[in-house]
Amino acid sequence: MSILDRSLLVLLSIAGFVGSVFAFLVGVGLFGSGSVAGAVSLGIYPNNVYTIVLAVVFALISLRFLFYRSSHSDLDFVALQGEHGQIRISFETIQQLSNRTGRSVRGVQEFTTRVRSGQAGILLSVRVKALADLDLARMSAEIQNAVKEYVERTSGVTVERVAVNIAELAGGNAKSAKAWVE
């Protein structure tokens, strides 16, 4: 959320809160019959009960948006306890490890990884552009095993799941993609 959006949200929240307080005071009947309450028939029973309830609801909503924070609660690193203190491994590092391993699997042309926090470790979601004429199920299983083992071995982080999404096939078949020498 940009600074302009935050400023507008604060201004709107303050205006909503002030309007809610004013409506609450009209509903309670603080203003006499010759003033605002005479012009607006919100101070007459049973409308005053509805006015008070709506004023309280809008005041609570305004306060919620006034104290709204759009900070990321998710961490972008994994913290491990080392012998002499805490070790932090960024998601970007784990992504690079996964990409390096995934590209080395036979049949993979392009490979990208997204890393998220899980319950007991991390979740890896990989997107693959594969060469044609290969067993995609076997290749996917090989990617899952290779990425999981390599990331866990090199970083010490538990990998809960590796989700493979074969998004597309490379244009052309596997034989024409690589030069074969006989």
Position 32 in a domain: yes
Four-residue CA torsion sign, 9, 10, 15, 19: positive
pTM > 0.75 = no
103 lies in the same domain as 35: no
Cα(143)–Cα(147) distance, rounded to whole angstroms? 6
The structure tokens listed for 5 are: 């959006």
Position 95 in a domain: yes
127 is in which domain, residue-wise? 77-171
Task: Please name the residues in contact with 100: beta carbons below 8 A apart, sequence gap of 6 or more.
Answer: 150
Q: Cβ distance 114 to 162 under 8 Å? A: no
Percent of the chain whose pLDDT exceeds 70: 80
164 lies in the same domain as 136: yes
Position 126 in a domain: yes
Quick check: 111 pLDDT over 60? yes
Dump pLDDT digits (tens) for 85-100.
988 999 999 999 999 9
Position 72 in a domain: no
Position 180 in a domain: no
Dump pLDDT digits (tens) for 118-132.
888 899 999 999 998
Report the CATH number that the domain containing residue 98 is assigned in CATH. 3.30.70.1350
Dump pLDDT digits (tens) for 34-57.
555 454 555 566 667 888 888 899
